[in-house]
Amino acid sequence: MHGNRQSKLAVCGCGKLHVTYGSITMHFDKDEFQVFADSIGRLASILKQSSVGSMPAHKGSSSAHMCH
């Protein structure tokens, strides 16, 4: 299934879902993917409701939130 040119969802022979977006591929089982998709949907909704300039910026040296 292709959502656009950058994303696709495929079921592997191992039973896992392979979600590819650009050069990134993530592997999920069905329940994990549903939780991930719901979370991304909520984050997208939050982004739509607020302007990027009003969102809090991450501060500190955590590499998990480092902008590149």
Q: Which residue carries 């910026």 as its tokens?
A: 57
Residue 41 forms part of a structural domain: no
57 pLDDT tier (thresholds 50, 70, 90): low
As for how many domains the chain has, the answer is 1
Distance between CA atoms of residues 66 and 49, nearest Å: 24
Residue 56 has a pLDDT of 62
pLDDT of 47 higher than 80:
yes
Residue 29 forms part of a structural domain: yes
Residue 46 and residue 39 in contact, taking contact as beta carbons nearer than 8 Å? no
Q: How confident is the model over 41-54, as a mean pLDDT?
A: 83
Whole domain around residue 10: which residue ranges?
Answer: 1-36
